[in-house]
Amino acid sequence: MFLTEDTGLKGCIRIIPKIFRDNRGISVKTFHADTFRDLCIPAEFAEDLIVTSGKNVLRGLHFQNPPYGQSKLVYCIRGRILDVVADIRKGSPTYGEYKLFELSDSNNWMLFIPEGFAHGYLTLEDQSIVMYKMSSAYNPACEDGIRWDSMGIPWGIDKPIVSERDRNFLPFDKFESRFEYVF
């Protein structure tokens, strides 16, 4: 039902679902609790979020601090995005490293992003729609981020559309993580 690939960031997993195609279209199962548990992917989610964005919108790098940290299951249900995951767990052998993934309605890939990672994405097509499943509910007091242009991420664009809030996050070199590496 699902294939998984290691991303090189401990705990962050790319998930490749089986796609069912016939003359009517396609069907993609994006979540199955028992299968996720068998794959050692936590299968408890508290809320879903759907975000629609125009082309060249950059969202991130976001996370929620403890005690309301969030694991996320992210996929692009329409369009195409450049998805970025950065390890912000103190003591992690990959602390400060990031990985880029293209998620789209063509490849139907998903990412499982555990707590302790900052997450963001750039929309590569107009009206791209991104779906999140999150392990804990949104808590505005714990919301945080790292400035999108402070980690050397090759976004491939000079002037993305970025919210005022995202422009004002601390740069990575001034950031002090509240996450600990626990493996």
In contact, 47 and 155? CB cutoff 8 Å: no
pLDDT at position 39 is: 85
Taking 90 as the threshold, does the pLDDT of residue 50 lie above it? yes
- Choice among 62, 75, 98, 119 that is catalytic: 62
Q: Is residue 112 part of a domain?
A: yes
Burial class (CB in 10 A: 0-12, 13-18, 19+), 8: exposed
Q: Is residue 168 part of a domain?
A: yes
Q: Is residue 89 part of a domain?
A: yes
95 is catalytic: no
Number of domains, the chain: 1
pLDDT at position 40 is: 85
In contact, 61 and 113? CB cutoff 8 Å: no
pLDDT at position 9 is: 96
For residue 176, how far is the Cα from the chain centroid?
20
The whole-number average pLDDT for the span 117-132 is: 98
pTM attached to this predicted model: 0.94
Q: Is residue 162 part of a domain?
A: yes
Rounded Cα distance between 67 and 26, Å, is 39
Query: What range does the domain containing 150 cover?
Result: 45-178
Q: What's 164's DSSP letter?
A: H
The CATH number assigned to the domain holding 159 equals 2.60.120.10
Q: Is residue 92 part of a domain?
A: yes
138 is catalytic: no
Q: Is residue 15 part of a domain?
A: no
Q: Is residue 11 part of a domain?
A: no
Q: Is residue 7 part of a domain?
A: no
- Choice among 119, 132, 138, 181 that is catalytic: 132
pLDDT at position 69 is: 95
Nearest C-alpha neighbor of 113 from the set 27, 38, 20, 15: 15
